[in-house]
Amino acid sequence: MTCNAETRFFSEETLQDLSKATIPHHIAIIPDGNRRWAKGHFLEVTEGYLQGAETLITIIQAAKEIGVKVLTVFSFSTENWLRPKPEIDAVMKIMEEYLKNYQEKLMAMSIRFNVIGNTDLLPQSLINVINETKTLTQEGTKFDLILAMNYGGRDEIIRATKKIATDYKENKILLHDLTENTFSAHLDTSKWPDPDLIIRTSGEKRISNFLLWQSSYAEIYIEKATWPDFTPHHLLSAVLDYQSRDRRRGGGII
């Protein structure tokens, strides 16, 4: 992490352009383009992930400065296991090292850390650091950081359905009790409100199995810059664009 808890990215005049009434409470990010960035700079793929990790640290702090309260980042998908093993191993090691190295920074910034996804399949050393970081930061009250690790939206929905089926079998829930709220309560994200804004970098225009249930009414913002090139001012532009929209629920022709 190249910045400390006191670093500020925006002037007071810049932040005055924001409407405090419509700051997105929860932003979710699909940080695409790490490998593309590395290849474009004639570097090893792992260098892209390292630079992406640095970007994440910066964006966490910038989001907190803007007034966002929850940030969810798609760190490793269920589909990412199909990539070459050396690349997967490198990503796992980077995540483990960054979490370990910046636990104190998270605590200093009163950031509460959590993870969504099926973490059972992650390396045990990474699981240990995840659990340790969650415990150390559990008193954080100013910002929630959620990393989606071994996460897939369809997998999450299946796991939630299995939990509901088990509760039904054990007479903990009746069929007529099953509502959208009941289902949401069985998802990995039950502790937090659905995202208001989803940002995807590198110009790709798809959700890629990310927060499928939760993104039903989220605004989507596509940024052409790759994730390693994504800056606090890119984030601010996304939030300003979000504030310019007339948010509505529903669809269809009527």
Which residues does the annotation mark as catalytic? Answer: 32, 80
Q: Show the tokens assigned to 185.
A: 């309560």
User: How far is Cα 75 from Cα 98, in angstroms, rounded to an integer?
Assistant: 12
Show the tokens assigned to 160: 């939630």
Distance CA 49, CA 114 (A): 20
Packing angle of the helix pair 45-66, 232-243 (nearest 10 deg)? 50
Question: Residue 222 — φ and ψ, nearest 5°?
Answer: -105, 125
Contact 145, 60 (CB under 8 A): yes
How many Å apart are CA 78 and CA 192, to the nearest integer? Answer: 22
The distance of Cα 216 from the centroid of its chain, to the nearest Å, equals 16
Residue appearing with tokens 């490793």: 76
Q: Which two tokens stand for residue 178?
A: 């099953």
DSSP state of 78: G
Q: Torsion-angle region of residue 17: left (phi > 0), alpha (psi -120 to 50) or beta?
A: alpha
Strands 197-200, 26-30: pairing is parallel
